[in-house]
Each structure stands twice: as C-alpha cells, then as structure tokens.
Structure 1
C-alpha cells in the first residue's frame, strides 16, 4: 500500500444528468452547496475533489477540479455533455471513499476507454504504483501499468 495517492480523471458526463446529480457533482468539486441527500458515497459526505487550482499538499503541481459544458462534442441527439477534469491528491485513509466517488462519477460518464490514472507513493520509496483507470459500458477497472493486470474491477449495479 502507498501512503499518498493522486487521482487524475478526464471524462465527459452525460448531457442528461438530473439537476440533483449535477448539483452533487458541483458540490464534489467544491463548486456548490451540499445536496440534501448525497448519493456519491456511503460514508460521511464531503466535497472530495475541491481543489479549484490550489497547490497540492502531497505531489508537485496543483489539485484541479473543473466542470464545463462541451458544446463542440454535441451528441447526435443534440445533448451537450459536461467536460469534467479532476486531479486530486489524498492520503491512504481516503482511498476507498475516493474510488467510490470516482465510480459514481464514471457511472454518469459517456467516455469509454482510458479515462485517467491512480498513482501511489510511499515516503522514501522509489517509483510507487501507477494504475490506468479504464471505463467500459459495464463498469471500470484499475489496470497496473507495469504488469497489465487488473487490480480492481467495479461493475455498475
């Protein structure tokens, strides 16, 4: 296990998100008020990816959370997807919940293929871990970049 992690996620969210889902996404990014009944996580609700361009406390660079409409990628039905980019660094104790929230976001995504990565490092150790985050129509998985082995597979309900 690593002591600290970096999650990078770049996806298009479905254009037909409900107002409640969109409000929860904005809250997760630190861009809105908490929803009355958060659904992204079973644990204590928190704005997991609020960073808004602040320096990361764990890795070089900045934590970023951005959600914008993507009219240039208009769908054939005329819907405009929401472009989402997250780069968030966190400690090991938040890993399970961060992956749960990332899964909630990915379930609302229309992007298929490699959508990001999870990098882990331990204090004083060399390279650490690097896992590609891959989404398909049925779920997502973390794939170890060195071995190509699936480390975690989550299927939509």
Structure 2
C-alpha cells in the first residue's frame, strides 16, 4: 500500500508574477532551469548518512510539480503546463498540473500553492476568502476532494 495522492491544480493567475517568481515556478513545473536563488520554497531538507555513519541533513532542491510522463499509482499521465493567456482582462496565466504527491511533500508543496493562491484570479476565490486551487484524491479513491488555500495555508486531506 502506498500513501500517494493525485494532485490536480487548475489555476488562472493574475499578471503579478515577477520575473524571478515566474522562473522559479517554471522550474517547479519541470519547464525551466533551476534559478540561482529560490525565493518561494527555500528549504529542501534530505536526511543522508555521512562517511562516519551519522545522519546529516543536506539541502537537495527538486521541482515540486515537475514530473512528466506515466503516473505510477493514479493512472494517466503526470503533466504541468503554464501558458500565457490571450485575453488578459481577468487573468494572465493559465496553470494546470497533475502530479502524484506523498504526504511528506504536503508542507513544501503547500508553500508553493499558498503563494500561487495569492496570485490567483477572482474566479477561484470563494465568498469566505479562501481560494480553490484544484482537487486531490487518495489513489485508491474515485471521488476527488476540493483543494483549498485559506489564509495562505493549504487544507490538505486528512
């Protein structure tokens, strides 16, 4: 049994992405090189054993939404796309990403999604101020659950 969830993001973003944010987002989507400085998600701790058998924490940045190709548990394909929209009256960027995610990655991915929710178009905002960024489902379930960011924090499935 695996603790894998399908993560489906569908967001329209306002034209407020700085060049640095856009470059980092493209890297996270697996669509561009890693920027020299990471500003959105800055820590990628990874525990390894050193030459003396001691556990140490290394920083190993990796794209959070950058897997492309066949999904291993949820079926279908893993993809990420960021497109410049033609009609920019309401939103300037269309973002879609379908990924497999483990609960260990909820916190880091949540940092990215919290930032993206702040840039989301009004279409995604709910009356209570939260932002609908997509949905998620446990890989063995058939019915997805809405994925919402409230006050900058992702409400992950329990």
TM over 0.5: yes
Name the residue aligned to 1:127. Answer: 141
Residues 149 and 155, structure 2, Cα contact 8 Å, conserved in 1: no
* Paired residues for 1:5-16 under 5 Å: 5-16=5-16
SS in 1 for 2:10: strand
Larger displacement relative to structure 2 (17-26 or 32-41): 32-41
Which one of the candidate residues 104, 112, 125 is aligned to 1:112?
Answer: 125
Shift of 1:19: 0.6
Shift of 1:51: 2.7
Larger Rg: 2
Shift of 1:83: 0.4
Residues 29 and 81, structure 2, Cα contact 8 Å, conserved in 1: yes
* Paired residues for 1:5-84 under 5 Å: 5-44=5-44, 45-52=61-68, 54-72=69-87, 74-75=88-89, 81-84=92-95
Coordinate RMSD, CA, aligned = 2.6
Residues 7 and 88, structure 1, Cα contact 8 Å, conserved in 2: yes
Q: Distance in 2 between matches of 1:102 and 1:66?
A: 15
Name the residue aligned to 2:51. Answer: none
Residues 132 and 143, structure 1, Cα contact 8 Å, conserved in 2: no
SS in 1 for 2:78: strand
SS in 1 for 2:16: coil
- Scaled by the length of structure 1, the TM-score of the pair is 0.71
Gaps of at least 5 residues in structure 2 are 45-60, 127-131
Moved over 6 A (4+): none
Shift of 1:128: 8.2
Cα gap change, 1:47 to 1:143, in 2 (>3 Å) = closer
Q: Distance in 2 between matches of 1:19 and 1:143?
A: 29
CA deviations 1:36-85 (Å, max 9, x no partner) are 22122242132111134x1112211111100001122x227xxx611000
Gaps of at least 5 residues in structure 1 are 145-150, 152-157
